[in-house]
Chain A
């Protein structure tokens, strides 16, 4: 069981593309500013993260300098590319040498095909904040087209890509989807959440992982009203900032109630839920009691 719950994630990309910055922001509570202090990663930096209690993410942050890269593809290839669940390849959007970036990507795919053909591939086109707003989608499309071609050659057809930047919420969106792809009992969560939503007469319920505040699941039922499509990532971002600021009071966040409409609270030891009610006439005690009862279904 334990081996099944261990997930190996490879984080690859050329030097300076922002791999360690991402990792630090998502998993180590760094702010985007703090990442400037990060130096170059030497060889592979392993981190073991417990996620949702019983799942362990083994994140292999692979330093991207050419010396190390060469090493990964030759001497260490069986060590690096065995039993990989997910490859996250990061591309620097400002990179001068795009061909070389793609070349390294294909070399990684080649090894993956040999050692772990079932791996899921994600590509992140990173540092998007450096591109003008109107050019972003165009650039991303071109990049994805190229990468899809490259990956199809090696039999990985369902390549998923995200434009990301550490300065906005796009990072959370990408990582939420990556991590969600690893959760085995997603359907159970979704069903339970739907039930809870109906029970509580809520507009929307979103489930977050507690430490990283990545979105796990949401009871998203588009009911005519236009809500911000990026709201989940924004909530992640806002709540993470708030968590960061509560450390100044030497504490951590427990509950937030906004105008008796929005409730953010713990649902289990490793999940937070974000509930928007349909109206604010329900007494607070009822809502909290309901949530308390719901906890057993989300353990």
Chain B
């Protein structure tokens, strides 16, 4: 993808879907910490809006109004589709979705022509109101129908990923985490580093989380348990909130103006949650279970290993800056695909 256009330094995610599908709500909840209930009062979006957020890489999420037709010539749709890394299509699972599927098939046909490297992600959204069985039925139905639609249009060999999401739980964060991960070229290295960390510190699970959005940039290769992720994400909140309360005072005494945030919590069943701030608004959150060994010594080992990990992260970051400024992002999306099996009904299918 060396002919990647103008916006090469930014991986952009394009958020599309029919109107009232919940696109703006997703943006507000994930990137602005809005309460899910407050999104009821969002106005209909009329023009494309863009969110920037920078974790390890700089990302932009562009939201398109649902009710517009992008195939009218006055939109620079070709340019648009060329410049993005992923297309996220939101389907309202509580509504009649046949229209949405036709719309999606058309978009795929167009987009794949323009940009064959585009990742296409489908969010089966608003599943909070559905029973467990019904969720599965709907997912199967949608996957089947979209396959048929694409077959009718004569397109083959397209990789689609499906996610069951809702803004009322952590599934939307998980889905976005996986989508973002596909856009990070350094992902295999990160995962490897985290695996190393897990092995040498005997951890149960670790996440590299973005502090603001709670999206995890990377995790080790063991399967993600959504509950573990929720606890880790909430632990970031707890740490930040407590820190904010006594902020003035922390800054006075801490020479590094609070940059080195670190917190450790021990639970009654012996689980230890460990958080340490990394570079660029990232935090490493790990879970460990030091059965009979002394917690203190384990933490010391942990501190040492995490320090090394942080240095590694800094090095990767420097290198990747050099690469992106010279050649544009390299395409390692295929490797990123094996990010571990989905836990929340995340599946991908090739048509």
Contacts and interface: CB of A to CB of B under 8 A. Distances in A.
Interface of A: 203, 225-228, 231, 234-235, 238-239, 241-242, 245-246, 248-262, 276, 278-280, 284-285
Given A228-B245, A259-B243, A249 B238 contact: no
B269 A248 contact: no
Contacts of B228: 248-249
Given A234-B245, A248-B230, 7 more contacts: A238-B237, A249-B231, A255-B266, A258-B242, A261-B246, A261-B253, A276-B246
Most buried by A among B241, B243, B246, B268: B246
Nearest to B226: A248
A251 B267 contact: yes
A256 B253 contact: no
B269 A249 contact: yes
Contacts of B267: 246, 249, 251-254
B250 interface: yes
A238 B242 CA distance: 8
Contacts of B238: 238-239, 241-242, 256
Contacts of B309: none
B295 to A, nearest CB: 9
Nearest to A277: B253
Nearest to A261: B250
A249 B242 contact: no
Contacts of A238: 237-238, 241-242
Given A238-B241, A246-B231, A249-B228, A203 B249 contact: yes
Given A249-B271, A278-B253, A258 B239 contact: yes
Contacts of B245: 227-228, 231, 234-235
B297 to A, nearest CB: 12
Q: Is the interface of A mostly helix, strand, loop or mixed?
A: mixed
A239 B237 CA distance: 11
A249 B227 contact: yes
B338 interface: no
5 contacts: A234-B245, A245-B235, A251-B267, A257-B264, A262-B242
Interface stretch (B210-218, B254-262, B341-349): B254-262
B265 interface: yes
A245 B231 CA distance: 6
A104 to B, nearest CB: 31
Given A254-B268, A258-B239, A245 B253 contact: no
Contact of A280 (B254, B263, B268, B287): B254
B248 interface: yes
Contacts of B237: 238, 241
B152 to A, nearest CB: 43
Most buried by B among A231, A249, A276, A278: A249
Contacts of A226: 248
5 A-B pairs with the lowest CB-CB distances in the bound complex, closest first: A251-B269, A245-B234, A251-B267, A258-B263, A256-B265
A246 B267 CA distance: 8
Interface in B274-328: 287, 296
A204 B44 CA distance: 48
A115 to B, nearest CB: 42
Given A249-B269, A280-B254, A241 B227 contact: no
Contact of B263 (A241, A252, A256): A256
A238 to B, nearest CB: 5
Contacts of B264: 255-257
Contacts of A259: 243, 250, 254, 258, 260-263
B112 to A, nearest CB: 40
A273 to B, nearest CB: 14
B253 A279 contact: yes
Contacts of B287: 249
Nearest to B275: A258
Contacts of A231: 245-246
Contacts of A284: 296
Given A259-B254, A259-B262, A276 B249 contact: yes
Nearest to A230: B245
Contacts of B271: 249, 251
Contact of A262 (B234, B235, B246, B268): B246
Contact of B268 (A225, A252, A258, A285): A252
Contacts of B258: 259
A278 B245 CA distance: 15
A250 B228 CA distance: 11
A261 B256 CA distance: 14
B230 A245 contact: yes
A242 B273 CA distance: 12
Nearest to A250: B269
A131 B24 CA distance: 26
A69 B116 CA distance: 70
B109 to A, nearest CB: 41
Nearest to A203: B249
A14 to B, nearest CB: 25
Most buried by A among B253, B254, B287: B253
